[in-house]
Amino acid sequence: MCPDNGIEKSIWCKGIEVTPAYLEMVIKYFLDQKYEVVSLDQLVMVLNSKKVDKKYVVFTFDDGYVDNFTFAYPIFKKYNIPFTIYITSGFIDRQAIMWWHSLSDLLFDNKKISFELDNKKYDFDCSTIEGKERAYLNIGFLLRGCNESELADKAGKIFNLFKIDAYKKTDELVLSWDQIKKLNKDPLVTIGAHTINHLVLKNLSGADVKKEILGSKTMLESQLNYEIKHFAYPNGGRGEVEKREFEIAKESGFITATTTRSANVFLEHRNHLECLPRFDMAEGIGHKELQFLTSGLTHCLRNRFKRVITL
Ligand SMILES: [Zn+2]
87 CA → ligand 1 middle, Å:
8
CA dist 54 to 37, 51, 191, 267, 276, Å?
Answer: 11, 9, 26, 12, 19
143 CA → ligand 1 middle, Å:
15
199 CA → ligand 1 middle, Å:
9
The number of C-alpha atoms within 13 Å of 250 and in the hemisphere containing its C-beta is 12
- H helix intervals, 128-274: 129-144, 148-161, 166-173, 177-185, 206-224, 243-251
Q: Which amino acid is at 282?
A: A
Q: Which amino acid is at 270?
A: R
18 CA → ligand 1 middle, Å:
15
1 CA → ligand 1 middle, Å:
13
Instruction: List the domain boundaries for the chain.
Output: 11-94+176-302, 99-169
Q: Which amino acid is at 91?
A: F
233 CA → ligand 1 middle, Å:
7
48 CA → ligand 1 middle, Å:
27
51 CA → ligand 1 middle, Å:
31
Which residues have beta carbons under 5 A from ligand 1 (an ion)?
62-63, 234
pTM: 0.92
Contact between residue 255 and residue 230 where contact means Cβ atoms under 8 Å apart: yes
204 CA → ligand 1 middle, Å:
16
Contact between residue 87 and residue 184 where contact means Cβ atoms under 8 Å apart: no
158 CA → ligand 1 middle, Å:
22
Contact between residue 60 and residue 278 where contact means Cβ atoms under 8 Å apart: yes
Classify residue 197 as exposed, middle or buried by CB count within 10 Å of its CB (0-12, 13-18, 19+).
buried
116 CA → ligand 1 middle, Å:
28
194 CA → ligand 1 middle, Å:
7
Architecture of the structural domain at 11-94+176-302: Alpha-Beta Barrel (3.20)
230 CA → ligand 1 middle, Å:
14
For every one of its 311 residues, what pLDDT tens digit does the chain have, with 9 covering 90 and above?
543 433 345 556 666 788 999 999 999 999 999 999 999 999 999 999 988 889 999 999 999 999 999 999 999 999 999 999 999 999 999 999 999 999 999 999 999 999 999 899 999 999 999 999 999 999 999 999 899 999 999 999 999 999 999 999 999 999 999 999 999 999 999 999 999 999 999 999 999 999 999 999 999 999 999 999 999 999 888 888 899 999 999 999 999 999 998 889 999 999 999 999 998 888 888 888 888 888 877 666 666 667 777 77
100 CA → ligand 1 middle, Å:
11
**Helices and strands (H and E) in the chain: how many:** 14, 10
